[in-house]
Structure 1
Amino acid sequence: MKWALAELNKFKNGQITFKETLDLESSLKLREPSILGVKDVFVEGFVQVDSTGYLAHIVVNTTIILPSSRSLEPVDIPLSLVVDEEYMTEAQLNALSDVSEEEKQLIMPLEKDLIDLTEAVEDYILLNLPLQVLTEAELSATELPKGDFWQVLTEDEVAHADNQDSEEKIDPRLAKLSELLVTDDEE
């Protein structure tokens, strides 16, 4: 999914459409070692060309295989993304006068006379990987995992345990020791 600007400029005030299947497994695994596998990446969209720049609209559909956050079992994660990127040459960026600096930061400057949408697709896939991955069994389980000397607690259980710890009374056998901690200000 690479186009030279000279090729795209033939479609000035028009657009070029595309529909492709990409094999990004090796490059995504290099960039994110936790990825176990990537099924084919289906991309469909267009690049609109005009005098102000190049607007790319891409719809990405794929399935990423990631390890479960609890058991490390492989889990298929379907991803469906919409990617919109705006590209401009240095001359086109400098010609913008009615655009704020913040808006200019959203525009991808072209360092070469080439647009490579594969990089944008990879970036968006990596940005949309979930932080918590669970198998179907782990999602439907009502009890959290535990072992001999450990257990997983929910946030509510941790907050409740913290409240109980703060409300616990001083052991009567140690109450006399607390009198030794009285400072001069309290006397």
Structure 2
Amino acid sequence: MKWSLLELRKYQDMPLTFEETLDLKNELMERDNQIIDLAPVNVKGLVTVGKQEYLLHYTANTVITLPSTRSLEPVELPLQFSVDEVFMTPEQYQQKDELVPEEEILILETQTLDLSDSVADNLLLEIPMQILSEEERNTNELPSGDDWEVLSEEDYQRQQESKEQTTTDPRLAKLASLFEEEEE
């Protein structure tokens, strides 16, 4: 869904409310090859037109299917997030006051405000780093195979500490017995 900036100027006195269902599956699958599936995204929000900016506020709901970071099995992950964005034209940006930090401003490159682009970008930002199925969350068992296994950091540290305690450098083994003889 796109709005032209001329069209949005009609809403300077009153915000423009919207409720849309966007099909972003193909676009997001091209941008991120990890995405297996994406349900239609329900978006509800408003656009407020100010003298120096365009404020876009919305909430988005969808279900995204991604591979588990542990087993690569498909996991359906419900996502619900809110977004507040400030858009300015290049002319408005040059005349902006210092109250709005520069990092929070998105500059419009065209004379349109595109909801689909904003939702797609923010949806990609909402994907968590670790994705686990319900079964994987409820168990502490990590995958393993022939001559390999996945360890947690704590298990790895314990394993390294026990190796240090049990292994003695063969070059120093004779010295260790020397101290035992002196104590007797």
Fold similarity call, TM over 0.5: yes
Gap runs ≥5 in structure 1: 179-187
Secondary structure of residue in 2 paired with 1:166: helix
Residue 172 of structure 2 is matched in structure 1 by 175
Matched, 1:149 2:147: yes
Gap runs ≥5 in structure 2: 176-184
Q: In the superposition, relative to structure 1, how do residues 141 and 176 fare at CA in structure 2: closer, same or farther (>3 Å)?
A: closer
Equivalent runs, 1:81-120 vs 2, <5 Å: 81-99=81-99, 103-120=101-118
Shift of 1:21: 0.4
Secondary structure of residue in 2 paired with 1:124: helix
Greater Cα offset, 113-122 or 39-48:
113-122
Q: Deviations over 1:108-161 (max 9, x none)?
A: 111211111211111111111122212222222232222231222111111111
Shift of 1:75: 0.7
Residue 41 of structure 1 is matched in structure 2 by 41
Aligned mates of 2:162, 2:173 — CA distance in 1: 23
Q: In the superposition, relative to structure 1, how do residues 176 and 158 fare at CA in structure 2: closer, same or farther (>3 Å)?
A: closer
Residue 56 of structure 2 is matched in structure 1 by 56
Q: Structure 1 vs Structure 2: percent identity of aligned residues?
A: 39
- In the alignment of these two chains, the number of paired residues is 175
Q: What is the one-letter code of the residue matched to 1:75?
A: V
Q: What is the one-letter code of the residue matched to 1:118?
A: S
Aligned-residue RMSD, C-alpha: 1.9
Secondary structure of residue in 2 paired with 1:72: coil
